[in-house]
Structure 1
């Protein structure tokens, strides 16, 4: 059994079932992110692990112990919320010390542990300040230190960075990952930000309408999406509609042009409609570009995005986006220009529903 084991977890609010038969094992020291849009069930699962919600069915075990009969304060869990939830009448030291005082630790033990935690988040010099005297990023660091001070078995993070500006968010997520690895604590992180999930997770759970559409490493989730939803939700992706020409050899027709996939198409017959996925960075129109597949088309538009230029190409009825590096020495194509997009057949993925 995994360190954190969720088996057949279900949750209903009245007649509405918001989590359907969820199963997952999380290893000790693993960092797992639940990724998905609002209302997909990710926070509900987190709250059931914490004990704030009672599952309608299924079991939750931590280190082999059933958590079903335990109240939130009886579970050895640390939790950080989106709203920092610091006590406004307590300074930084006392906020971090709160859980230790409730646990009945002695003052010397508390002071020692608080000093360790403030050192960990690099805020020792702000121990006497109150929350209103701190920035948002500093408040969230204090909330993290408070959650970790009690030495929890599992750390739960409920969209802790969503209230921060972009630059602080990037910096703090890197700090969270570094601290998590340093302590080796099992961590569950809930977010709707795909970049956050991809950058700091060991594994990602992509949630859709109360179900896990895919569980895998960031590399697997991004490069081999299992469903149309995962393909469209994670990263920028072209969804291209085609027709199966010959499934045995992986031949498909796109915009009246026949190309071959890298593998046969199982479960399909000639004439069937098929959805294909292609990442924008997989294609190139550069002269001499490598790729065993070519699709001629006409440029529709281009967008300057800083380090890359995203160009939209019409191929038949499809609009395909591709990215090219911003090279000052190269003139990008203009609308109406005919170009040929080249890419490797292996980069064109069949999307299953």
Structure 2
């Protein structure tokens, strides 16, 4: 059931349009990630949902209610920022209780709710400590508990993990997802980290220059990118230049080798240059279960990375990279070796702008 709707949202700062006609319907309890580089408009959309920015055009509704005339404190939204934004003069208990006091909740109810929130994030034992006595991960957990304490309709997370070290980021993002599923709260998460977005989201919005290039499940975003930007931004990618050989037969030429694609090429003329995307993990030197294509090339690079060996193979003016697991009993290909790359035609994606 649609719970949060953004219809034809636009935002301009003076003559600069930073969000172009954005549309999305988010179901109740869904976890959505906005993924993209700095300046793509993802945080601006989040701030418009929160009420910190006013859309230049379009409407935002939550549970059927238009948010246009509601101030941020009237929207029943919880928000967690990159900078923890805890009150340094308040201990953990009072930080979590702050929103409840603003809402006029009774003292006994506040105490009960704060204890529930601290138990949820497993920090009950730190109730009397102050922010400066906590680690970064602990502070962000407290910020999350404070945002959730008033039982908001929607939880907004603006790059909440980017100030933390890698190990803490992984554990905390998993904890955020677990808490979100436990509470069933509709959540919008903004990040520039593709691994974060892919690992914890129900759906991902890939933003590019103020537009949503693609909205889909993590599986679809990674395996079936809709545009060249999505294909290149999400995951590692080989981009292969090819020439259309026979549009009707969907064949292309890579160097001197002709292969067939599963994607139609009827809209392209013979001799036209096209670009194909291929994930490194779709390539192998051994027979693949569905591998119906083979490309012969010469190894131009081989890098031993411990558990993985990354090999680059020159094919028709392109370098196709692939990763293979390290096997102590198998010697990796050496620079100068001629090898046959095995792949499935379905793994070659025709890139469109």
Counterpart-to-counterpart distance in 2, 1:305 and 1:176: 31
Over the aligned positions, Cα root-mean-square deviation in angstroms equals 1.0
Cα shift readout 1:315-343 (whole Å, capped 9, x = no counterpart): 11111111111112111111111111110
Counterpart-to-counterpart distance in 2, 1:218 and 1:260: 28
Give the secondary structure class of the aligned counterpart of 2:248.
helix
Gaps of 5+ in 1: none
Counterpart-to-counterpart distance in 1, 2:254 and 2:202: 36
Counterpart-to-counterpart distance in 1, 2:135 and 2:264: 56
- Figure out how many residues of one structure are paired with residues of the other and give that number: 352
Give the alignment's TM-score, normalised by structure 2: 0.98
Give the alignment's TM-score, normalised by structure 1: 0.98
Q: Report the counterpart of residue 226 of structure 2 in structure 1.
A: 226
Give the secondary structure class of the aligned counterpart of 1:248.
coil
Structure 1 residue 22: Cα displacement:
0.2
Q: Report the counterpart of residue 189 of structure 1 in structure 2.
A: 189
Q: Report the counterpart of residue 320 of structure 2 in structure 1.
A: 320
Please say if residues 263 and 349 of structure 2, whose CA atoms lie closer than 8 Å, have aligned partners that are also in contact: no
Moved over 6 A (4+): none
Counterpart-to-counterpart distance in 1, 2:170 and 2:306: 18
Q: Report the counterpart of residue 133 of structure 1 in structure 2.
A: 133
Please say if residues 32 and 189 of structure 1, whose CA atoms lie closer than 8 Å, have aligned partners that are also in contact: yes
Q: Mean alpha-carbon deviation: is it higher for 243-252 or for 47-56?
A: 243-252
Q: Report the counterpart of residue 32 of structure 1 in structure 2.
A: 32
Counterpart-to-counterpart distance in 2, 1:330 and 1:160: 43
Please say if residues 239 and 275 of structure 2, whose CA atoms lie closer than 8 Å, have aligned partners that are also in contact: yes
Counterpart check, 1:240 vs 2:240: yes
Q: Report the counterpart of residue 49 of structure 2 in structure 1.
A: 49
Give the secondary structure class of the aligned counterpart of 1:335.
coil
Please say if residues 249 and 263 of structure 1, whose CA atoms lie closer than 8 Å, have aligned partners that are also in contact: no
Give the secondary structure class of the aligned counterpart of 1:87.
coil
Counterpart check, 1:168 vs 2:155: no
Correspondences of 1:24-103 after superposition (within 5 Å): 24-103=24-103
Counterpart-to-counterpart distance in 2, 1:86 and 1:99: 12
Correspondences of 1:232-271 after superposition (within 5 Å): 232-271=232-271
Counterpart-to-counterpart distance in 2, 1:54 and 1:289: 53
